Structure 1
Protein backbone atom coordinates (compact mmCIF):
# COMPACT_ATOMS: atom_id res chain seq x y z
CA UNK A 1 0.00 0.00 0.00
CA UNK A 2 1.40 3.41 -0.85
CA UNK A 3 1.37 6.19 1.69
CA UNK A 4 0.39 9.72 0.83
CA UNK A 5 1.86 12.70 2.59
CA UNK A 6 -0.91 13.67 5.02
CA UNK A 7 1.14 16.24 6.85
CA UNK A 8 -0.85 19.41 7.62
CA UNK A 9 1.99 21.40 6.07
CA UNK A 10 1.74 19.58 2.73
CA UNK A 11 0.20 21.70 -0.02
CA UNK A 12 -3.15 20.58 -1.39
CA UNK A 13 -2.93 18.98 -4.83
CA UNK A 14 -3.48 21.38 -7.71
CA UNK A 15 -6.90 21.24 -9.31
CA UNK A 16 -7.53 21.92 -12.97
CA UNK A 17 -9.44 25.09 -13.72
CA UNK A 18 -12.12 23.87 -16.05
CA UNK A 19 -15.05 26.06 -15.06
CA UNK A 20 -16.73 22.98 -13.55
CA UNK A 21 -17.24 21.92 -9.95
CA UNK A 22 -16.27 18.45 -8.75
CA UNK A 23 -19.81 17.26 -9.61
CA UNK A 24 -19.52 18.47 -13.20
CA UNK A 25 -21.78 21.51 -12.77
CA UNK A 26 -20.62 24.84 -14.12
CA UNK A 27 -19.03 27.12 -11.56
CA UNK A 28 -20.90 30.32 -10.87
CA UNK A 29 -18.22 32.46 -12.51
CA UNK A 30 -18.52 30.42 -15.72
CA UNK A 31 -22.28 30.93 -16.05
CA UNK A 32 -23.82 33.37 -18.50
CA UNK A 33 -26.53 35.83 -17.51
CA UNK A 34 -29.06 33.72 -19.41
CA UNK A 35 -27.96 30.52 -17.66
CA UNK A 36 -28.44 32.29 -14.32
CA UNK A 37 -31.87 33.49 -15.49
CA UNK A 38 -32.81 29.89 -16.30
CA UNK A 39 -31.72 28.77 -12.82
CA UNK A 40 -33.80 31.43 -11.10
CA UNK A 41 -36.79 30.71 -13.37
CA UNK A 42 -36.47 27.01 -12.49
CA UNK A 43 -36.57 27.82 -8.78
CA UNK A 44 -39.58 30.08 -9.31
CA UNK A 45 -41.46 27.51 -11.41
CA UNK A 46 -40.74 24.88 -8.79
CA UNK A 47 -42.49 27.13 -6.24
CA UNK A 48 -45.40 27.46 -8.64
CA UNK A 49 -45.69 23.71 -9.27
CA UNK A 50 -45.20 22.57 -5.67
CA UNK A 51 -46.62 25.42 -3.62
CA UNK A 52 -49.15 26.70 -6.15
CA UNK A 53 -47.94 30.19 -5.29
CA UNK A 54 -49.00 33.14 -7.44
CA UNK A 55 -46.55 34.32 -10.09
CA UNK A 56 -46.29 37.85 -8.66
CA UNK A 57 -45.39 36.60 -5.16
CA UNK A 58 -42.88 34.11 -6.56
CA UNK A 59 -41.38 36.81 -8.76
CA UNK A 60 -40.94 39.24 -5.86
CA UNK A 61 -39.35 36.53 -3.69
CA UNK A 62 -36.99 35.36 -6.46
CA UNK A 63 -35.77 38.84 -7.34
CA UNK A 64 -34.62 39.25 -3.71
CA UNK A 65 -32.42 36.12 -3.84
CA UNK A 66 -28.66 36.53 -3.74
CA UNK A 67 -27.14 36.71 -7.19
CA UNK A 68 -30.31 37.65 -9.06
CA UNK A 69 -28.68 40.90 -10.17
CA UNK A 70 -26.30 38.80 -12.32
CA UNK A 71 -29.17 37.15 -14.20
CA UNK A 72 -30.76 38.31 -17.45
CA UNK A 73 -33.95 39.68 -15.88
CA UNK A 74 -35.81 39.91 -19.19
CA UNK A 75 -35.12 36.26 -20.00
CA UNK A 76 -36.15 35.26 -16.47
CA UNK A 77 -39.41 37.23 -16.85
CA UNK A 78 -40.17 35.60 -20.19
CA UNK A 79 -39.55 32.11 -18.82
CA UNK A 80 -41.43 32.50 -15.55
CA UNK A 81 -44.48 34.36 -16.78
CA UNK A 82 -44.52 32.68 -20.20
CA UNK A 83 -44.42 29.16 -18.78
CA UNK A 84 -47.13 29.87 -16.22
CA UNK A 85 -49.36 31.59 -18.80
CA UNK A 86 -49.00 28.77 -21.35
CA UNK A 87 -48.72 25.82 -18.92
CA UNK A 88 -51.61 23.88 -20.47
CA UNK A 89 -50.19 24.28 -23.99
CA UNK A 90 -46.72 23.26 -22.81
CA UNK A 91 -48.12 20.18 -21.06
CA UNK A 92 -50.10 19.28 -24.20
CA UNK A 93 -46.86 19.18 -26.19
CA UNK A 94 -44.89 17.30 -23.52
CA UNK A 95 -47.46 14.69 -22.45
CA UNK A 96 -47.44 12.56 -25.65
CA UNK A 97 -43.70 11.95 -25.18
CA UNK A 98 -44.03 10.78 -21.58
CA UNK A 99 -44.04 7.14 -20.50
CA UNK A 100 -46.01 7.97 -17.34
CA UNK A 101 -48.56 10.46 -16.09
CA UNK A 102 -47.45 14.07 -15.71
CA UNK A 103 -48.30 13.85 -11.98
CA UNK A 104 -45.53 11.25 -11.64
CA UNK A 105 -42.89 13.55 -13.14
CA UNK A 106 -40.63 15.36 -10.68
CA UNK A 107 -41.54 19.06 -10.40
CA UNK A 108 -37.93 19.91 -11.31
CA UNK A 109 -38.01 17.90 -14.54
CA UNK A 110 -41.52 19.21 -15.25
CA UNK A 111 -40.35 22.82 -14.92
CA UNK A 112 -37.19 22.14 -16.95
CA UNK A 113 -39.27 20.65 -19.77
CA UNK A 114 -41.70 23.60 -19.67
CA UNK A 115 -38.80 26.01 -19.97
CA UNK A 116 -37.14 24.07 -22.79
CA UNK A 117 -40.35 23.89 -24.81
CA UNK A 118 -41.03 27.57 -24.13
CA UNK A 119 -37.57 28.52 -25.41
CA UNK A 120 -37.97 26.33 -28.50
CA UNK A 121 -41.18 28.22 -29.27
CA UNK A 122 -40.38 31.79 -28.24
CA UNK A 123 -36.61 32.33 -28.05
CA UNK A 124 -35.65 31.78 -31.66
CA UNK A 125 -32.39 33.69 -31.14
CA UNK A 126 -31.15 30.73 -29.07
CA UNK A 127 -30.08 27.81 -31.29
CA UNK A 128 -32.03 24.60 -30.65
CA UNK A 129 -28.90 22.69 -29.64
CA UNK A 130 -28.09 25.37 -27.06
CA UNK A 131 -31.64 25.15 -25.66
CA UNK A 132 -31.34 21.37 -25.42
CA UNK A 133 -27.93 21.51 -23.76
CA UNK A 134 -28.91 24.23 -21.27
CA UNK A 135 -31.89 22.24 -20.03
CA UNK A 136 -30.02 18.95 -19.86
CA UNK A 137 -27.42 20.73 -17.71
CA UNK A 138 -30.13 22.26 -15.48
CA UNK A 139 -31.68 18.82 -15.00
CA UNK A 140 -28.26 17.38 -14.14
CA UNK A 141 -27.61 20.10 -11.58
CA UNK A 142 -31.03 20.30 -9.92
CA UNK A 143 -32.98 17.19 -10.91
CA UNK A 144 -32.96 13.54 -9.94
CA UNK A 145 -30.17 11.10 -10.73
CA UNK A 146 -31.26 10.30 -14.28
CA UNK A 147 -33.71 13.16 -14.77
CA UNK A 148 -31.48 14.73 -17.38
CA UNK A 149 -31.88 11.65 -19.59
CA UNK A 150 -35.65 12.01 -19.43
CA UNK A 151 -35.44 15.73 -20.22
CA UNK A 152 -33.10 14.94 -23.12
CA UNK A 153 -35.54 12.39 -24.54
CA UNK A 154 -38.56 14.68 -24.34
CA UNK A 155 -36.92 17.88 -25.55
CA UNK A 156 -34.91 16.00 -28.16
CA UNK A 157 -38.18 14.51 -29.39
CA UNK A 158 -39.87 17.91 -29.60
CA UNK A 159 -37.02 19.80 -31.26
CA UNK A 160 -37.75 18.45 -34.79
CA UNK A 161 -41.39 19.49 -34.38
CA UNK A 162 -40.83 22.92 -32.80
CA UNK A 163 -37.67 23.90 -34.70
CA UNK A 164 -38.13 21.82 -37.86
CA UNK A 165 -36.15 24.03 -40.27
CA UNK A 166 -33.25 24.51 -37.87
CA UNK A 167 -32.99 20.82 -36.95
CA UNK A 168 -33.23 19.79 -40.62
CA UNK A 169 -30.50 22.28 -41.59
CA UNK A 170 -28.24 20.90 -38.85
CA UNK A 171 -28.86 17.32 -40.04
CA UNK A 172 -27.98 18.32 -43.60
CA UNK A 173 -24.82 20.05 -42.38
CA UNK A 174 -23.88 17.04 -40.24
CA UNK A 175 -24.48 14.73 -43.20
CA UNK A 176 -22.35 16.89 -45.49
CA UNK A 177 -19.41 16.71 -43.11
CA UNK A 178 -19.73 12.96 -42.52
CA UNK A 179 -17.09 10.84 -44.21
CA UNK A 180 -18.25 9.24 -47.44
CA UNK A 181 -17.63 5.54 -47.65
Structure 2
Protein backbone atom coordinates (compact mmCIF):
# COMPACT_ATOMS: atom_id res chain seq x y z
CA UNK A 1 0.00 0.00 0.00
CA UNK A 2 2.17 2.82 -1.18
CA UNK A 3 -0.55 5.09 -2.53
CA UNK A 4 -0.51 8.61 -1.24
CA UNK A 5 -3.49 10.85 -0.81
CA UNK A 6 -4.13 13.03 -3.86
CA UNK A 7 -3.40 16.69 -3.18
CA UNK A 8 -5.31 19.75 -4.31
CA UNK A 9 -3.40 22.82 -5.40
CA UNK A 10 -3.08 25.61 -2.87
CA UNK A 11 -2.88 25.48 0.88
CA UNK A 12 -4.86 22.55 2.32
CA UNK A 13 -7.40 23.18 5.05
CA UNK A 14 -7.33 21.38 8.39
CA UNK A 15 -9.90 18.80 7.28
CA UNK A 16 -7.77 17.86 4.26
CA UNK A 17 -4.63 17.68 6.41
CA UNK A 18 -6.38 15.36 8.88
CA UNK A 19 -7.79 13.22 6.07
CA UNK A 20 -4.26 12.86 4.69
CA UNK A 21 -3.00 11.90 8.16
CA UNK A 22 -5.64 9.18 8.44
CA UNK A 23 -4.80 7.89 4.98
CA UNK A 24 -1.09 7.68 5.77
CA UNK A 25 -1.88 6.14 9.17
CA UNK A 26 -3.98 3.45 7.51
CA UNK A 27 -1.16 2.62 5.13
CA UNK A 28 1.35 2.57 7.97
CA UNK A 29 -0.89 0.35 10.11
CA UNK A 30 -1.36 -2.01 7.20
CA UNK A 31 2.42 -2.24 6.92
CA UNK A 32 2.70 -2.79 10.68
CA UNK A 33 0.14 -5.61 10.62
CA UNK A 34 1.55 -7.34 7.53
CA UNK A 35 5.31 -6.78 7.84
CA UNK A 36 5.60 -6.67 11.62
CA UNK A 37 7.92 -3.67 11.67
CA UNK A 38 7.94 -1.39 14.70
CA UNK A 39 5.83 1.75 14.70
CA UNK A 40 9.03 3.84 15.08
CA UNK A 41 10.57 2.28 11.96
CA UNK A 42 7.40 2.72 9.95
CA UNK A 43 6.89 6.31 11.04
CA UNK A 44 10.47 7.22 10.14
CA UNK A 45 10.11 5.51 6.77
CA UNK A 46 6.85 7.30 6.01
CA UNK A 47 8.30 10.68 6.93
CA UNK A 48 11.24 10.10 4.57
CA UNK A 49 9.40 8.43 1.68
CA UNK A 50 6.28 10.63 1.51
CA UNK A 51 5.57 14.31 1.03
CA UNK A 52 3.80 15.08 4.28
CA UNK A 53 3.87 18.85 3.88
CA UNK A 54 0.07 18.89 3.54
CA UNK A 55 -0.53 16.32 6.28
CA UNK A 56 -1.32 16.75 9.96
CA UNK A 57 1.84 14.90 10.97
CA UNK A 58 0.97 15.07 14.66
CA UNK A 59 -2.32 13.25 14.01
CA UNK A 60 -0.54 10.70 11.79
CA UNK A 61 1.91 9.97 14.60
CA UNK A 62 -0.83 9.84 17.26
CA UNK A 63 -2.92 7.38 15.25
CA UNK A 64 0.03 5.16 14.35
CA UNK A 65 1.43 5.04 17.88
CA UNK A 66 -1.93 4.94 19.65
CA UNK A 67 -3.32 2.12 17.51
CA UNK A 68 -0.17 0.00 17.63
CA UNK A 69 0.19 0.44 21.39
CA UNK A 70 -3.50 -0.18 22.11
CA UNK A 71 -4.50 -2.61 19.36
CA UNK A 72 -5.55 -5.36 21.77
CA UNK A 73 -7.82 -3.01 23.76
CA UNK A 74 -9.24 -1.50 20.57
CA UNK A 75 -9.96 -4.97 19.18
CA UNK A 76 -11.74 -5.93 22.40
CA UNK A 77 -13.87 -2.78 22.22
CA UNK A 78 -15.48 -3.69 18.89
CA UNK A 79 -15.13 -7.49 19.01
CA UNK A 80 -18.70 -7.97 20.38
CA UNK A 81 -20.07 -6.39 17.20
CA UNK A 82 -18.16 -8.57 14.72
CA UNK A 83 -19.92 -11.34 12.83
CA UNK A 84 -16.69 -13.29 12.32
CA UNK A 85 -13.45 -13.95 14.17
CA UNK A 86 -10.98 -11.09 14.28
CA UNK A 87 -8.46 -13.27 12.43
CA UNK A 88 -10.84 -13.45 9.44
CA UNK A 89 -10.85 -9.68 8.93
CA UNK A 90 -8.95 -8.30 5.96
CA UNK A 91 -5.84 -6.36 7.13
CA UNK A 92 -7.20 -3.14 5.58
CA UNK A 93 -10.59 -3.58 7.23
CA UNK A 94 -8.91 -4.34 10.54
CA UNK A 95 -6.71 -1.25 10.32
CA UNK A 96 -9.69 0.95 9.44
CA UNK A 97 -11.68 -0.43 12.38
CA UNK A 98 -8.75 0.21 14.71
CA UNK A 99 -8.41 3.82 13.55
CA UNK A 100 -12.15 4.40 13.95
CA UNK A 101 -12.21 2.75 17.37
CA UNK A 102 -9.18 4.75 18.48
CA UNK A 103 -10.82 8.01 17.47
CA UNK A 104 -14.14 7.10 19.09
CA UNK A 105 -12.49 6.09 22.36
CA UNK A 106 -9.51 8.44 22.66
CA UNK A 107 -10.18 11.52 20.52
CA UNK A 108 -13.31 12.88 22.15
CA UNK A 109 -12.78 16.26 20.49
CA UNK A 110 -13.68 14.56 17.19
CA UNK A 111 -17.46 14.23 16.84
CA UNK A 112 -18.52 10.58 16.67
CA UNK A 113 -20.09 11.06 13.24
CA UNK A 114 -16.83 12.48 11.88
CA UNK A 115 -14.82 9.56 13.29
CA UNK A 116 -17.20 7.07 11.68
CA UNK A 117 -17.45 8.92 8.35
CA UNK A 118 -13.68 9.28 8.02
CA UNK A 119 -13.24 5.55 8.63
CA UNK A 120 -15.98 4.71 6.14
CA UNK A 121 -14.25 6.92 3.56
CA UNK A 122 -10.94 5.10 4.17
CA UNK A 123 -12.70 1.77 3.68
CA UNK A 124 -14.23 3.02 0.43
CA UNK A 125 -10.82 4.08 -0.90
CA UNK A 126 -8.61 1.24 0.33
CA UNK A 127 -10.95 -1.60 1.27
CA UNK A 128 -12.89 -4.26 -0.55
CA UNK A 129 -16.06 -3.34 -2.42
CA UNK A 130 -18.53 -3.60 0.47
CA UNK A 131 -16.18 -3.19 3.44
CA UNK A 132 -17.29 0.40 4.07
CA UNK A 133 -20.76 -0.87 4.99
CA UNK A 134 -19.30 -3.37 7.43
CA UNK A 135 -17.02 -0.73 8.98
CA UNK A 136 -19.95 1.68 9.30
CA UNK A 137 -22.10 -0.90 11.11
CA UNK A 138 -19.37 -1.93 13.55
CA UNK A 139 -18.29 1.62 14.40
CA UNK A 140 -21.88 2.81 14.74
CA UNK A 141 -22.50 0.11 17.37
CA UNK A 142 -19.25 0.97 19.14
CA UNK A 143 -20.18 4.67 19.14
CA UNK A 144 -23.49 3.86 20.79
CA UNK A 145 -21.56 2.24 23.61
CA UNK A 146 -18.63 4.64 24.04
CA UNK A 147 -20.28 7.93 22.97
CA UNK A 148 -23.82 7.40 24.27
CA UNK A 149 -24.04 10.82 25.95
CA UNK A 150 -22.87 12.61 22.80
CA UNK A 151 -25.37 10.68 20.67
CA UNK A 152 -28.23 11.48 23.10
CA UNK A 153 -27.30 15.16 23.12
CA UNK A 154 -27.22 15.26 19.33
CA UNK A 155 -30.62 13.57 19.05
CA UNK A 156 -32.09 15.99 21.60
CA UNK A 157 -30.75 18.93 19.60
CA UNK A 158 -32.22 17.67 16.31
CA drift at 1:88 = 0.6
Q: What pairs with 1:28-177 in structure 2 (closer than 5 Å)?
A: 28-29=7-8, 32-174=16-158
Alignment RMSD (CA, Å): 1.5
Query: Quick check: which has more Rg, 1 or 2?
Result: 1
TM-score normalised according to structure 1 size: 0.78
Secondary structure at the residue paired with 2:53? helix
Gaps of 5+ in 2: none
Identify the structure with bigger relative contact order (alpha carbons < 8 Å, sequence gap 6+).
2
Whole-Å separation in 2 of the counterparts to 1:123 and 1:155:
14
Report the alpha carbon displacement of residue 46 of structure 1 after superposing the two structures with TM. 0.2
Unpaired runs of 5+ in structure 1? 1-25, 175-181
Post-superposition CA distance 1:75-106 (Å, at most 9, x none):
11110000011111001012111111111101
Deviation at 1:69, TM superposition (A): 2.0
- How many pairs does the alignment contain? 149
Contact 1:160–1:168 (CA under 8 A) maintained in structure 2:
no
Q: What is the rounded CA distance, in whole Å, between the counterparts of 1:170 and 1:54 in structure 2? A: 39
Q: Which one has the bigger helix percentage? A: 2
Structure-2-length-normalised TM-score: 0.89
Distance 2:144 2:154 in 1: 11
How far off its partner does 1:28 sit? 2.9
